[in-house]
Amino acid sequence: MTVTVLLADDQALVRAGFRSLLSRARDLSVVGEAASGTEAVALAERLAPDVVLMDIRMPGVDGIEATRRILAARPSTRVVVLTTFDTDEHVFEALAAGASGFLTKEVEPAELRRAVAVAAAGEALLSPGVTRRVVARFAGAASRPPARPAPLAALTARENEVVRLVARGLSNQEIAAELVISPLTAKTHVTRAIAKLGVRDRVQLVILAYEHGLVSPGDGG
């Protein structure tokens, strides 16, 4: 199965570079390029890509707003935001808008191709530890109130514990070791928590945990 990709970046050279890197994988296909957020939204609607590689900083409609619009129209599309630095203060906003993760523009070719494939499969795009550092840094500064109270009461005690460990940056393997359960059982708990809390993926689960005080930036891990 071929994964279709839309590139959104206002720099033609950046788009050309990513197109070249992705074209080396037989199971990835770049179906379009957008030079602005507005164009990205229009092309995503017309081309229905599996994954959008989205630059955050673009003139006019930026990558954050474009992400919101794309996911509102096409919830099944995965958006991966691109940034020059992994400490970009806008990364948290993009993740909160529904992006499945982020990559720096200095990403290695093999990692870029792997990340696109993983995002298309709906799995955790990037290291939970990396996600946790970004969320922990900016969650406290985010002024956007939660859209609705998180139904944390719906979680079992074990699921609550698992969500805390996910937010601390532990992988399923590490969660399994911590709780003395199998990796498959750990993955099942994570999947059920995602479903109960109504979030898209593991990244959104981490954001929700910080936003609603289940964990705080000062927690260990």
Last residue of a domain, one of 77, 106, 126: 126
Instruction: Give the number of other Cβ atoms within 10 Å of residue 54's Cβ.
Output: 29
d(CA 33, CA 57): 16
The mean pLDDT of 8-17, rounded to a whole number, is 95
d(CA 176, CA 173): 5
The per-residue DSSP string of 186-218 comes to HHHHHHHHHHHHT-SSHHHHHHHHHHTTSS-TT
Asked if 103 and 131 sit in the same domain, the reply is no
Residues of the domain holding 115: 3-126
pTM as predicted: 0.77
pLDDT in tens, 143-180: 444 544 557 888 999 999 999 998 887 888 899 999 99
Last residue of a domain, one of 80, 97, 126: 126
Asked if 11 and 53 sit in the same domain, the reply is yes
Count of domains in the chain? 2
- The CATH number of residue 80's host domain is 3.40.50.2300
120 Cβ contact partners less than 8 Å away, ≥ 6 residues apart: 3, 50, 51, 78
Lowest mean pLDDT among 32-46, 53-67, 91-105: 91-105
Last residue of a domain, one of 95, 126, 157: 126
d(CA 144, CA 53): 24
Asked if 13 and 117 sit in the same domain, the reply is yes
Contact 6, 45 (CB under 8 A): no
Asked if 20 and 77 sit in the same domain, the reply is yes
Asked if 168 and 105 sit in the same domain, the reply is no
